[in-house]
Amino acid sequence: MSMLIKFLVAAVGAGTPLLFGTVGEILTEKTGHLNLGVEGMMSIGACIGFMAGYYTDNFFIAILAGAAAGALGALIYAVLTVTFMANQNVTGLTLTIFGIGFANFIGIFVLSKSPEGTLKLPEKITAAMRGGNIPALSKLPVVGELLFSYSPFVYIGIAIAVACAWYLNHTKAGLSLKAVGENPGAADAAGIKVTSVKYRNIIFGGAICGIGGVYCAMIINGGVWISNNVGGLGWIAVALVIFANWQPAYAIWGSFIFGALRVLKYYIPQSVLPFPIAFYDMLPFLITALVLVISSMRKSGRINLPAALGLNYFREER
Amino acid sequence: MAKQEKSLYAIECRKITKTFGQVLANDEIDLNVKYGEILALLGENGSGKTTLMNMLSGIYHPDSGQIFIGGSEVKINSPVDAMNLGIGMIHQHFKLVEAFRAMDNIILGTKGKKEKNKVTSEKIKEISQTYGLEIEPEKYVCDMSVSEKQTVEILKVLYKGAEILILDEPTAVLTPQETEKLFQILRKMKEKGCAIIIITHKLQEVLEISDRVTILRKGKSIDTVETSTCDAQKLTELMVGRPVSLEINHPPVKESKTILKVVDLTVYKADGTKAIDDISFDIRSGEILGVAGVAGSGQKELCETIAGLMEASKGAILFHKENLLGKTPSEIIEKGVSMSFVPEDRLGMGLVASMGMTDNMLLKSYQKGKGAFVNRKPAREMAEGLIKQLDIVTPGTETPVRLLSGGNVQKVLLGREIESAPSVLITAYPVRGLDINSSYTIYDLLNEQKKKNVAVMYIGEDLDVLLELSDRIMVLCHGKITGIVDTQGTTKEEIGMMMTGENKFSDQEKEAQR
């Protein structure tokens, strides 16, 4: 029983960076732009967020810096694809390569200046980002551990996902956003400022991805900077968008399920299932591939895939 | 005087001029519409109708001239401005989000907080009752028929408080019955005091619906006439600028043998729905078989299946008793089945837009050449021949075809197909977007082929033309044949009924057919 609770708690933790990436990418894709740069934006967010935390020792400044950095990465993407109408796939891939390179470069540069030879987050921020410090609630048996023991990241992530779901389904701004992703020509004719909607949401999506990056840098390795700390999670997030059917609320469950897959290796004893550890490392990516195959085969029914996804909008095109 | 004008004219355009580079699209155009009036805007392609309307809806800006709305001068800088002035444009190609419900499309772009669905829905119902529109606000647009979608488009502008409606070829996609319904709605709006501008090519409709007609020719406003004093002949003369015969030649059928026979054909679309549902018909030599039907009733799939581009799941296509199904497109071309399919974007299929005429001629013949090298000479000669024969206006055989005007592109496409001396010629929408003169050239070309005993299948939109040009008409509805009739003694209304799915055959006849 306690083992199961531990597993679930670990799954939620491991799923959290995916949640940020997925929700951010959902907002981006709802504009009709497929940004394959999630991994890159998360990496940039990870690097800047970590460094901000390292120097200021303030948790919220770290998160804000990570979000701003992710937004900046998305801005590059938006300028290239919305304004200059560059190919979205190529731009996204380039952003990923750039983001990882940028993060590693800055990381190694700062590392080389550090007297200890490692970069470890200071005390205060480490305490702030750790979970289990909600008075009274965290001490409750079972429920306390299952619901109130997490890092603030988890609650921020869920709050953002819920807010985005509400934004998409119950506001006029959300309606405009969906219209732009479905049929920018129709949105344009209805008086919606297509370019502005695209910029706003792509940048906002990038900011959310950036926070996911901060999680990767600060939590996964216990507050110590290592290179490549996002480690492919951005790619899983891109696939999770399809798994979640472009709905932020589904992204919550989707990312926790994938989180569970990531931590499975620590909770299944070798004696029960004698698979090598490498198999479990592969599992999330294998399932991702399967999800992509299955969702591509699923043709009927209302899938939420934005109809204009991947197509740049040029008003005067006939 | 000025006060009177205020109440009289909804829109007044004075000396509107607009140039695109060297081209004078609008040359000092005057146009006015009263409240409670339907004005038809008539003109050939390229006469500047769309340019003028785009200036009224804020997409382009006039170089000079004045626009008055309700008596006061205005500048319309964007579609939002136009909307705020009460101008609503209903585009020919619907600007609707398919994945949204009707009501979401209607409130799209409006300001303010989002209301409860129920409140919005009530508001929409109230407006639709005022004007006699029928709508289900909760229905998804992708589940709607064309005419329902148009209703949503109309409601979209009414919901935003538009009193001036501009409709760009609204009837192009409707059946005669749906058109009649639309006209009733327009008349009701007129009664309520709306000013309506309707752009259409169809003279009968102009005569039926409008109070006045403004005729544009080569960017100039030629005349504005009271509809009641006009007939089709006079309007055409004003439009073209000289007397034109409106009769389409109809040479008699000389000899008629079945050349292509389609038996029990069923074709599925990629999404698993039936595009063509168990149809049987034949195409005979020396005859034009017209195909009527609302857009998307299976015409495209039928063409592509005959040409070997789509796979049929059941049935056979017999060409001189040989089954064409399963053959590759090039094998089918070799047998003399030729297709000139003009899709909505005209250049999509058949021609390569960025290549010149010579290369486009080569597309269908290069495989016959020997060795690895291409001999361009015969193709160039063929292109030059076509330019002379069909009066194609082009700077040269190497000019990319996308730079030619619509009519000339069509001539290139049809000309190439005819050059290969086919025994079956399939044309889909060959006059789409063409002006009257070019259209008649195309009809003559088809009739010539008919005289040469070619079996011609003509998929068309304008029922008047179909009735005059073809010998028999086959009507498609949702992939089924709802009737094959002789054009002699058939009326437009009957075809219209069949287009909506009313079966021409009685049940007994159907049994007998099987």
Average pLDDT of span B361-372? 74
Instruction: Name the DSSP class of B248.
Output: P
Q: Does A192 touch chain B (CB under 8 A)?
A: yes
Which of A176, A300, A307 lies at the smallest CB-CB distance from B98? A307
Q: What Cα–Cα distance (Å) separates residue B200 from each residue in B12, B50, B172, B209, B501?
A: 20, 11, 8, 11, 26
| Closest residue by Cα to residue A312 from A40, A84, A37 | A84
Which of A170, A175, A318 lies at the smallest CB-CB distance from B108? A175
CA distance B397 to B382: 10
CA distance B35 to B195: 5
What pLDDT is attached to residue B512?
Answer: 46
The amino acid sitting at A263 is V
Which residues of chain B form CATH 3.40.50.300? 2-240, 258-350+421-513
pLDDT tens figures, A246-303: 999 999 999 999 999 988 888 887 777 788 888 888 888 888 888 778 877 765 445 6
CA distance A317 to A161: 35
User: Is residue A318 included in any domain, yes or no?
Assistant: no
Coil/strand/helix, residue B417: helix
pLDDT at B249 over 50: yes
User: Is residue A310 included in any domain, yes or no?
Assistant: no
Extended strands (E) in B55-176: 64-69, 72-74, 87-90, 164-168
Contact B97 A302 (CB under 8 A): no
To the nearest 10°, report the CA torsion of A228, A231, A233, A236: 130
Coil/strand/helix, residue B397: coil
What is the DSSP pairing of strand B64-69 with strand B23-34? unpaired
| Closest residue by Cα to residue A14 from A214, A160, A290, A216 | A216
Q: How far is CA A33 from the centre of its chain?
A: 16
Mutate to test the interface with A, among B20, B87, B95, B409 (most CBs of A within 10 A): B95
Across chain A, what does the average pLDDT equal?
A: 89
Contact A179 B107 (CB under 8 A): no
CA distance B340 to B314: 25
Q: Does A135 touch chain B (CB under 8 A)?
A: no
Coil/strand/helix, residue A41: helix
C-beta of residue A25 within 8 angstroms of C-beta of residue A237: yes
Number of H helices, E strands in chain A: 13, 0
pLDDT at B506 over 70: no
CA distance B384 to A300: 50
CA distance A139 to A132: 8
What is the DSSP pairing of strand B455-459 with strand B23-34? unpaired
Residue B22 banded pLDDT, cuts 50, 70, 90: confident
Average pLDDT of span A217-244? 91
What pLDDT is attached to residue A64?
Answer: 97
Average pLDDT of span A204-232? 93
Angle in degrees, 0-180, between the axes of helices A233-243 and A277-297, rounded to the nearest 10: 40
pLDDT at B198 over 70: yes
What pLDDT is attached to residue A318?
Answer: 38
How large is the ipTM?
0.83
C-beta of residue B423 within 8 angstroms of C-beta of residue B457: no
Cβ-based neighbours of B340, under 8 Å, separated by 6 or more: B350, B413, B414, B416, B417, B425, B426, B427, B428, B430
Average pLDDT of span B384-403? 81
C-beta of residue B457 within 8 angstroms of C-beta of residue B291: yes
pLDDT tens figures, A157-176: 999 999 999 999 999 999 99
The domain defined by B2-240 folds into Rossmann fold (3.40.50)
Cβ-based neighbours of B299, under 8 Å, separated by 6 or more: B291, B293, B428, B459, B476
Which of A186, A300, A318 lies at the smallest CB-CB distance from B95? A186
Number of residue pairs across A and B with CB atoms under 8 Å?
65
The sign of the CA dihedral B485, B490, B492, B496 is: negative
User: Is residue A309 included in any domain, yes or no?
Assistant: no
Q: Does A183 touch chain B (CB under 8 A)?
A: yes
Coil/strand/helix, residue B167: strand
What pLDDT is attached to residue B2?
Answer: 41
Which residues from chain B sit within 8 angstroms of residue A179, using beta carbons?
A: 97, 100, 108
Q: What Cα–Cα distance (Å) separates residue A135 from each residue in A131, A139, A149?
A: 11, 8, 10
Instruction: Name the DSSP class of B41.
Output: E
Lateral strand order in the sheet of B480-486: B337-341, B424-428, B455-459, B287-292, B472-477, B480-486
User: How many residues make up chain A in this entry?
Assistant: 318
C-beta of residue A201 within 8 angstroms of C-beta of residue A174: no
pLDDT tens figures, B323-335: 888 888 888 877 8
CA distance B163 to B170: 17
What pLDDT is attached to residue B489?
Answer: 84
C-beta of residue B82 within 8 angstroms of C-beta of residue A160: no
Q: Does A296 touch chain B (CB under 8 A)?
A: no
Q: A202 — phi, psi (to 5°)?
A: -65, -45
B499 burial type by CB count under 10 A (0-12 exposed, 13-18 middle, 19+ buried)? buried
pLDDT at A209 over 90: yes
Which residues from chain A sit within 8 angstroms of residue B78, using beta carbons?
A: 191
Q: pTM for this one?
A: 0.77
Which residues from chain A sit within 8 angstroms of residue B156, using beta carbons?
A: 190
Q: Which helix (H) or strand (E) holds B129?
A: helix B117-131
The percentage of residues in chain B with a pLDDT greater than 90, rounded to a whole number, is 14
| Closest residue by Cα to residue A36 from A24, A45, A47, A48 | A24
| Residue B93 in tokens | 């190609």
| Residue B453 in tokens | 């005993």
C-beta of residue A218 within 8 angstroms of C-beta of residue A247: no
Instruction: Name the DSSP class of B446.
Output: H
What pLDDT is attached to residue B452?
Answer: 87
pLDDT tens figures, B254-293: 777 888 899 999 998 877 788 888 999 998 888 999 999 8
A201 against B10, higher pLDDT: A201
pLDDT at B169 over 70: yes
Lateral strand order in the sheet of B72-74: B23-34, B9-20, B64-69, B72-74
Domain containing residue A254: 2-297
C-beta of residue A126 within 8 angstroms of C-beta of residue A57: no
Tell me how crowded residue A190 is: count the other CB atoms within 10 A of its CB: 25
CA distance B24 to A14: 64
User: How many residues make up chain B in this entry?
Assistant: 514
CA distance B65 to B78: 17
Task: Name B317's bridge partners.
Answer: B262
Number of domains observed in the structure of chain A:
1
pLDDT at B307 over 70: yes
Q: What CATH superfamily is the domain B258-350+421-513?
A: P-loop containing nucleotide triphosphate hydrolases (3.40.50.300)
> What CATH number is attached to the domain comprising A52?
1.10.3470
Which of B91, B94, B271 lies at the smallest CB-CB distance from A299? B271
What pLDDT is attached to residue A133?
Answer: 66
What pLDDT is attached to residue B503?
Answer: 58
Contact A176 B107 (CB under 8 A): no
pLDDT tens figures, B433-461: 677 777 888 888 889 888 888 888 998 88
pLDDT tens figures, A92-147: 999 999 999 999 999 999 999 888 888 898 888 888 887 766 777 777 777 777 78
Contact A183 B98 (CB under 8 A): yes
User: Is residue A313 included in any domain, yes or no?
Assistant: no
Q: What distance in Å separates residue B345's CA from the closest CA in chain A?
A: 8
User: Is residue A170 included in any domain, yes or no?
Assistant: yes
User: Is residue A305 included in any domain, yes or no?
Assistant: no
What pLDDT is attached to residue B507?
Answer: 44
Using an 8 Å CB-CB cutoff, list residues of chain B that contact chain A.
Answer: 78-80, 83, 89, 91, 94-100, 104-105, 107-114, 156, 271-272, 345
Q: How far is CA A14 from the centre of its chain?
A: 12
